[in-house]
Structure 1
């Protein structure tokens, strides 16, 4: 009979019962000393365990030190915020009941929600409510400054930033402080952008003024780029509201003083209270600390996952090491060591090696964080605080590593106490039996895990469709369902590991038919479950993580691609043109500045061609006169004015369900407030849509046909329906029902309708809904549309990133130069990028998991080859060819890696398929079943184990040592 024997009880233990061990620290000290000596003697396996612990601890500690170093220490924070001042105060205004947190003044809470919601205006002059020795007022505003390339927007810091009270908050770098209102300072980068030197005159357009540069300055809490200047007085600047900051010296408020000022709409940052907030401290994690939650959650999850892998692989290493120490442990037992002593000797090895790996990994992590700052540091504010080490967290990591090493040795230590001392002295090994109870437990967990996923997914869909009135119950069901989607696959994986020995035994029966190498490999895996089961469990964990990650990335990127619409073809460079007269009523009428807009569009087209565009297209949009200025100066709706919009026909979801009632909402029919016509010249159509246009299509387009990019705009006859809608129907009583009309009779009828011939042109670009219907200028005039330019589109293959940056600077300057007190223009440029392709991310995930699987397989197979050396010597002694030993290694790699990858992939597929079912059942965008990346899962579950087996076959086994097997020959 092939394969191991399945038994329901272990072999009888011939050892006599021991007397109860007397507790003594001496025994513990001797056990610790022997554990240290055994670790040094078995240095190859010790180095392996230290390395397994070292790697995750180094990575996590590096991430923690790096993240900590991006934030200031408490002392650095107050010094950079205040300089030499004792506090700063801002009159931001608020509502009754507002209270700030003492250590986080920009975060607040409502102390009494029942006191009303009327707005509290802060005092205009803080000096009237605070009794302090010194005050320095700092304001902020935006200024349009002449630069070497035209005009640019700069942030102006207004006030005496060079006052000694602010030393440390602002630092004078060169030159001197201003002594008159027409002198200024600038950051060195801003001075370079302006093209000026100390003593030069700088011209401002808004506000209209000239300043003499007398020095350079830096701001400690800003990145100081090329957009900051410092001026002494407000002058003509339009100061940003509620941004005035008063720096105060000689004033030390209590918490009650701060809360009293909060009631006046004033916020306080005090040096002492920020560092010692007491009960007024902000909670460690709240709804506003999403970034911290994300970082610490990701760090904790990574640490738990790494600990799981390390304990499995290190446990396998300890299992092999304990077997190799069998004779030494038996000698210790023969001279009086108790089972507890033997247990402690093996367990302490895990403690020692875990502590060593934790200390070395923490030290390496600190060094890696320092190197990372040197490599990635860009001189920005985040890299200016120096290397900061969270020592308590580092100590915690070292303790965690020690616990991890100890737990890794727990099962091997327990197994080491079960042997027979005399048999161990003879070098005999106890036969391995397969428990009949474990498969049942594992099967139960397998079924439970799969059932939890199915029930969770079904429950989420049913709850969504049922639309329960109890919101709290709905949220609870959603939370339980999402937890179940995570817990279920984990239970399945645990079940597989528990039943792992039995599964390997069944594989041994099957593989016995594939030749001697397969038979020996399978039986070796079954005979050493302490090594083989943790190994394929670690590989399964890696495959599970990869499967879930691949599914998550594919789902998210599919959703992003479905919603990532563009206004221009992928790869093109777009210049957005806008402008209107400045009106107190708030009514913007671009037709008043139509000539200037066309001039600005022509300048943008020329700039794009000069930058390398082979073709450009100017697209326009209709302008509707919907509002007029009333007697009180406010906008008044003209209910009889009309706008036009193309009507979408049945959406795809309606066409797929012809038996169900499907009605377009009035919002969709009337354009939803968006302008859905794009007006472009016939010879520019191909550039605007990014698809080839035939001569016949261009002629038809010029003659009055509409080109559409999506078939949703075409009737069954291939026409495009154009509806005219009254303003009163759009913004009157129908507003509340635009989304919820359930009867055709409730929908307003269009004022008039006309049809245009439709031409469907398929473009690789996913355009937004308001950029899918194109008409020629002559067609727009025939329909009565007034149009203004909106976008300039240029072919972008020759426009590099540097040229695009130059275009952006030119666009800002051009818009500022054309703007005036009566008109306001905008011009911005960007590249129309396609949605990110998932393939690079999927390759990255697959590559990462390949590294992990190969590493886990290398550890497993390396341990296997070490433990199999006596068996290899036996095979060689009885005349086995070298190919047999090579085949054994290859088949063993295939069994361990194959089991792990298949089990992990199946477990990871459960939540992925559950998400697909949930998205489909709730009508959300996402992966369809056919869109699941099956090819990637095939590579992960099948191709990767074959690759590992091939590599194992290519690496020849070590020459056997025949000295201990000579008698067998």
Structure 2
């Protein structure tokens, strides 16, 4: 124990003496810990228990009663958040306060909730509405008041802090649609669990009409005795859902958020992530420990000369890993908690995430800290072994520049590589999770091969110009340092190439299989079929203003004789990939203009068939014996029920886009079947820049039942995903390269000084360091490209063979492989070039004289 304590003291003193190197190692180890700790802290604060949600749902009440459309028995969990009626049968008579008090004696406070369109300074937006008397003590904590006052009369509202941040102020008059009302803003409140929500708080029926039972309405209850589970079950049998504070308190701790992975897939992915994070950290920090060893070799030799054994020397170097790894882990945890809470708080307000009390999941965080400590120890293992084997006499004489050895045959690397290849080939038919598990031995095999690759590539040094020759030979001489740095770059590049090929192939597959009845770039704007003619005219005018100079074509919708909305679905033979339900729902209904819009040309035969009352099909899967079948459903509040199936003659044609499918139906065919057809759909060939904003504005200005949908490709999504991959690779590859190059430059300083002493120009020093960076980054990126391409192609198999990610079944159909050549060229050619330029630019050219022992 005394030797171990002495080793710790020596390591602490050495860490303080070489602050730059120590800080670099701590950053390499501590940065992943900081990021993971921040993510865990943010996730714990964002993930809420039922007890943490209670305040924003029931205030200080003892129970929250939820009504339904009937008085059928309710099924729910203990929290009441999943309350529902499997069979909505029985009496639909609305509840009265007297009936509720008979079942649950106590004071009741009615509430109701809904959504309206509110006019904000930047246009209409959807806003939640909570109607309850927030002045009542029973609502304490429900919506805390930030400024102003609560609503005290009909026509007054308090707004959420998010809405106040959008430019609405206390004293303003707020306009809403559905219902069309104006309300005076009297205060600002905040939802404790959703600070980023757009919300209005008013008195019951102060903004909304009276809502029937089952339409987001109910009561808060203040009872004399706690509402126990037996009482909750009694109320469930009567047809009420219940959230009881006493029941919530009794189940506190039952819904822990960090119980560990619930499935084997989660455990596998977690294990793979841990292995890769530790490996990347070790590969980055290992060269720093190796350079530190060479700087301390005289000190270690002095200890050996005074009786220190090889075990003592190993202990001292391993203590470096323990000290620096422990300090990095501690700082990473401490510094990760604060940013995690800060980012979560900002995201909760800006992105409308759930938000709860600040919480740190200490068990996972401590696990991450231990992971960092272990990473530091593993990174110090190779330097520790080297320290125990150094020649004490040569070091004390100043003649031991490097502990060298013959490059061994890469048997272990080849074995691991073959195992990884075989496992990857098998995993291709098992899913992405299996490929992730096979990824580990494959990466380890390539890492084990890296020292041999460094030695093999160094044989070209003799044919290179002087700066490049010096750099390559120095890299080969310090094989362990170079191999570790190149392996770190390789691992980052390999991951980026795998993700790039996999994501690009997945987007290509999705784009190829994302068929539609509309051509690419079409915007569909529809409204309820019950809107009157004036509303329809306003909609057409509003769309014309928003799409100036763009072709706009009208289509139709269907109602029954009573004006009820009907939902049409074209039945298809589901044997082809094109048979996707959403393609055949709500088919376009119109005349020759709409047909020309969908085909982007005039097809005389299709136009003639349409005029004759025949449908025009764009794919053969909907046509049977020259007919199409259309199911006509009645669209109720929550369900659809087929009331009739009709057959319409059809002809087969093609759309403007090869991916178009489904069919277009002539209005006269539906009118002949006894349905009422009205013009209520608009089609334009120009997608809006902001779909959500335009939809909200149209709903606010024209009708709340409008919808807007734009048929877009996946090009923008693909580019964004690849930019994220490139950004992550940029940070890891350049960060690892610069760290390794800086260590190499420090290690090469005597040789660089010798160059300057014999008359070499400053640019030679820059070229030597730049070449070192280019060699490390180029070797790592080249090997990462080859290895990542293998795994990337393997990943495309389960992702694109007509299945989803993680599918375990061997799926029929060809795999889609799309290689993002620009991304790969940037990784393999661009990043090494950038690394070389930056390293050469920031290289010191000043000559430093040094005294050496003869």
TM-score tier after normalising by the smaller chain length: 0.7 to 0.9
Report the equivalent of 1:338: 309
Report the equivalent of 1:789: 679
Report the equivalent of 1:32: 8
Report the equivalent of 2:81: 106
**1:686-710 deviation digits (Å, cap 9, x = unpaired):** xx4595x6xxx5999877799xxxx
Is 1:608–1:794's contact at 8 Å kept on the other side of the alignment?
no
Report the equivalent of 1:679: 591
Report the equivalent of 1:48: 24
How much does 1:955 deviate? Answer: 5.2
SS in 2 for 1:579: coil
Aligned equivalents of 1:574, 1:607: Cα separation in 2: 14
Is 2:420–2:440's contact at 8 Å kept on the other side of the alignment?
yes
How much does 1:449 deviate? Answer: 1.1
**1:865-895 deviation digits (Å, cap 9, x = unpaired):** 1112233344555666766655543443343
SS in 1 for 2:109: strand
Is 1:723–1:753's contact at 8 Å kept on the other side of the alignment?
no
Is 1:877–1:966's contact at 8 Å kept on the other side of the alignment?
no
Report the equivalent of 1:19: none
How much does 1:297 deviate? Answer: 9.8
* Structure 2 CA distance for partners of 1:284 and 1:108, relative to 1, 3 Å: farther
**1:683-733 deviation digits (Å, cap 9, x = unpaired):** x95xx4595x6xxx5999877799xxxx99499xxxx99976487x989xx
Moved more, 571-580 or 494-503: 571-580
Is 2:490–2:784's contact at 8 Å kept on the other side of the alignment?
yes
Q: Please state if 1:860 is matched with 2:740.
A: yes
Report the equivalent of 2:226: 252
Report the equivalent of 2:321: 350
Aligned equivalents of 1:939, 1:366: Cα separation in 2: 35
Report the equivalent of 1:530: 480
Report the equivalent of 2:421: 450
How much does 1:907 deviate? Answer: 2.3
SS in 1 for 2:591: strand
Is 1:255–1:273's contact at 8 Å kept on the other side of the alignment?
yes
Report the equivalent of 1:843: 723
Report the equivalent of 2:198: 225
Q: Please state if 1:269 is matched with 2:256.
A: no
Report the equivalent of 1:469: none
* Structure 2 CA distance for partners of 1:79 and 1:871, relative to 1, 3 Å: same
Report the equivalent of 1:79: 55
Q: How do residues 510-521 of structure 1 correspond to structure 2 at under 5 angstroms? A: 510-521=460-471
Is 1:622–1:675's contact at 8 Å kept on the other side of the alignment?
no
Report the equivalent of 2:39: 63
SS in 2 for 1:138: strand
State the structure with more CA Rg. 1
Q: Please state if 1:323 is matched with 2:294.
A: yes
Match of 1:169 among 122, 142, 145: 142
Q: Please state if 1:505 is matched with 2:505.
A: no
Aligned equivalents of 1:942, 1:191: Cα separation in 2: 50
Report the equivalent of 2:550: 615
Report the equivalent of 1:604: 539
SS in 1 for 2:313: helix
Q: Please state if 1:553 is matched with 2:529.
A: no
Is 1:184–1:232's contact at 8 Å kept on the other side of the alignment?
no
Aligned equivalents of 2:554, 2:28: Cα separation in 1: 61
Q: Please state if 1:362 is matched with 2:333.
A: yes
Report the equivalent of 1:769: 661
Report the equivalent of 1:901: 781
Aligned equivalents of 1:448, 1:67: Cα separation in 2: 36
Match of 2:383 among 395, 408, 412: 412
* Structure 2 CA distance for partners of 1:266 and 1:413, relative to 1, 3 Å: farther
Cα RMSD after superposing both structures: 5.6
SS in 2 for 1:789: strand
SS in 2 for 1:681: helix
Is 1:609–1:794's contact at 8 Å kept on the other side of the alignment?
no
**1:534-556 deviation digits (Å, cap 9, x = unpaired):** 11111111011101211222123
**1:590-609 deviation digits (Å, cap 9, x = unpaired):** xxx8xx46x55443222223
Is 1:621–1:679's contact at 8 Å kept on the other side of the alignment?
no
Aligned equivalents of 1:854, 1:607: Cα separation in 2: 51
How much does 1:317 deviate? Answer: 0.2
Is 1:184–1:215's contact at 8 Å kept on the other side of the alignment?
no
How much does 1:280 deviate? Answer: 5.5
Match of 1:485 among 425, 430, 435: 435
Aligned equivalents of 2:319, 2:697: Cα separation in 1: 66
How much does 1:414 deviate? Answer: 2.5
**1:648-683 deviation digits (Å, cap 9, x = unpaired):** 9xx9xxxxxxxxxxx9899999x967646642538x
* Structure 2 CA distance for partners of 1:128 and 1:619, relative to 1, 3 Å: same
* Structure 2 CA distance for partners of 1:213 and 1:46, relative to 1, 3 Å: closer
Is 1:198–1:213's contact at 8 Å kept on the other side of the alignment?
yes
* Structure 2 CA distance for partners of 1:143 and 1:761, relative to 1, 3 Å: closer
Aligned equivalents of 1:150, 1:329: Cα separation in 2: 72
SS in 1 for 2:60: coil
* Structure 2 CA distance for partners of 1:383 and 1:574, relative to 1, 3 Å: same
Aligned equivalents of 1:927, 1:667: Cα separation in 2: 19
Aligned equivalents of 1:346, 1:37: Cα separation in 2: 13
Aligned equivalents of 1:784, 1:164: Cα separation in 2: 58
Is 2:30–2:328's contact at 8 Å kept on the other side of the alignment?
yes
Is 2:67–2:213's contact at 8 Å kept on the other side of the alignment?
no
* Structure 2 CA distance for partners of 1:542 and 1:134, relative to 1, 3 Å: same
SS in 2 for 1:231: coil
Is 1:890–1:950's contact at 8 Å kept on the other side of the alignment?
yes
How much does 1:56 deviate? Answer: 2.1
* Structure 2 CA distance for partners of 1:679 and 1:297, relative to 1, 3 Å: farther
SS in 2 for 1:499: helix
TM-score w.r.t. the length of structure 2 is 0.77
Is 1:27–1:341's contact at 8 Å kept on the other side of the alignment?
yes
Report the equivalent of 1:311: 282
Size of the aligned set, in residue pairs, is 815
* Structure 2 CA distance for partners of 1:37 and 1:612, relative to 1, 3 Å: same
SS in 2 for 1:56: helix
Aligned equivalents of 1:572, 1:616: Cα separation in 2: 11
Aligned equivalents of 2:569, 2:223: Cα separation in 1: 63
Aligned equivalents of 1:579, 1:489: Cα separation in 2: 55
Aligned equivalents of 2:578, 2:693: Cα separation in 1: 42
Aligned equivalents of 1:85, 1:831: Cα separation in 2: 45
Aligned equivalents of 2:511, 2:169: Cα separation in 1: 46
Aligned equivalents of 2:826, 2:165: Cα separation in 1: 54
Report the equivalent of 2:446: 496
Q: Which runs of 5+ in 2 are unaligned?
A: 633-644, 803-809
Q: Please state if 1:239 is matched with 2:213.
A: yes
Aligned equivalents of 2:391, 2:34: Cα separation in 1: 40
Report the equivalent of 1:543: 493
* Structure 2 CA distance for partners of 1:174 and 1:668, relative to 1, 3 Å: closer
Aligned equivalents of 1:204, 1:812: Cα separation in 2: 6
Aligned equivalents of 1:355, 1:151: Cα separation in 2: 53
How much does 1:328 deviate? Answer: 0.7
How much does 1:849 deviate? Answer: 0.7
Report the equivalent of 1:939: 826
